[in-house]
Amino acid sequence: MFQGLSDKLQETFKRLKGKGKLKEADVNEAMREVRVALLEADVNFKVVKDFVAKVKERSIGLDVLESLSPAQQVIKIVHEEMITLMGGATGKILIASKPPTVIMLIGLQGAGKTTHAAKLANMLNKQGKHPLLVACDIYRPAAIKQLQVLGEQLKLPVFSMGQESPVEIAKASLKHANSNGQDVVIIDTAGRLHINEELMGELRDIKTAVKPHEILLVVDAMTGQDAVNVAESFHKELGLDGVILTKLDGDTRGGAALSIKAVTGCTIKFAGMGEKMDAIEPFHPDRMASRILGMGDVLTLIEKA
């Protein structure tokens, strides 16, 4: 399907003989193919519309070059626009001037919050920090135990207070960190739907109580069209500082990345690449763009041209 985009665009532009400028009609046809490719990669419908409009604008009137076919030129534009859209600083946690730095992970059920709380702790620990993991998921069966097991594996401390209210646990964890020399506090929260008002309220209360430096939304890279609704709601309610895109070790195209960045403007900071504790990487917009288009090789060729 996706190797397809390049082929289909070649096909579309085949009629173009010799040099000249790309006409609107040619471009329109090409944009149809681009649109389908993006939708099949799970880029949100509305995002696709705006995105295609932008690419179209840049493509019309383009000089057909000797070195690149029109198809390659259009793909190059698509790729560039994607990188611009998803770009920005990545892979950094903002460390507070006065410790502890408070990080809070939020998101839908099963996205990978608990796993990534532990991965982040591990990463920061390797950078010389002393993280404290905080178990604020009092709902899911064995959620606290899950965090404890991960903490044990990493030999990092986990703060828990059983089924106490999450706001109280979060507050107490800061005190605990202060008196134990822990300079980063990572709060794991329960998975929740963005439309669950009660549970969204709980997150707001935790936020008010501990004023996190980083509120990170954890999103499954396999998410479909709904990614924008989810990200928009969490962003509106809490004000996100960044996103962690998980399960990128799968074979999903990951169009959700583009959608989320487009609607919230939040940078995607990290990519989750597996279940192991070291499977976390800074997010790379250029790789993601190639992935969404499903055409790493084609792009390398274009870049060389």
Ligand X SMILES: Nc1nc2c(ncn2[C@@H]2O[C@H](COP(=O)(O)OP(=O)(O)OP(=O)(O)O)[C@@H](O)[C@H]2O)c(=O)[nH]1
- Residues near Mg ion (CB under 5 A): 113-114
Q: Does 40 bind other proteins (CB under 8 A)?
A: yes
Are 80 and 285 spatial neighbours (Cβ–Cβ below 8 Å)?
Answer: no
**Quick check: 194 binds other proteins (CB under 8 A)?**
yes
**Pick from 9, 12, 31, 42: which binds other proteins (CB under 8 A)?**
42
Strands 101-106 and 242-246: unpaired
Q: Which of 11, 226, 237, 286 binds other proteins (CB under 8 A)?
A: 226
- Considering the complex, state which of residue 150 and residue 167 has its C-beta at the smaller distance from Mg ion: 150
Binding residue (CB under 8 A) for other proteins from 130, 139, 172, 284: 139
130 backbone dihedrals φ, ψ, rounded to 5°: -120, 85
Number of residues near other proteins (by CB under 8 A): 44
H or E segment to which residue 104 belongs: strand 101-106
Structure tokens at 296: 């790493």
Q: Is 89 in the site for other proteins (CB under 8 A)?
A: no
Q: Name the one range near other proteins by CB under 8 A: 41-49, 68-76, 158-166, 261-269.
A: 41-49
* 162-167 own/partner pairs: CB under 8 Å, 24+ apart: 162/138, 163/138, 164/138, 165/138, 166/136, 166/137, 166/138, 166/190, 166/202, 166/206, 167/202, 167/205, 167/206, 167/209
Of the candidates 112, 114, 103, the one whose C-alpha atom is nearest the C-alpha of residue 149 is 114
Is 151 a binding residue for ligand X by CB under 6 A? The answer is no
Name the packing angle between helices 45-59 and 70-86 (round to 10°).
130
Site residues, other proteins (CB under 8 A)? 36, 39-42, 45, 108-112, 139-143, 145-150, 153, 193-195, 220, 222-227, 229-230, 247, 249-253, 255-256, 275
Site residues, ligand X (CB under 6 A)? 107, 109-115, 137, 140, 143, 190-191, 193, 218, 246-247, 249, 272-275, 279
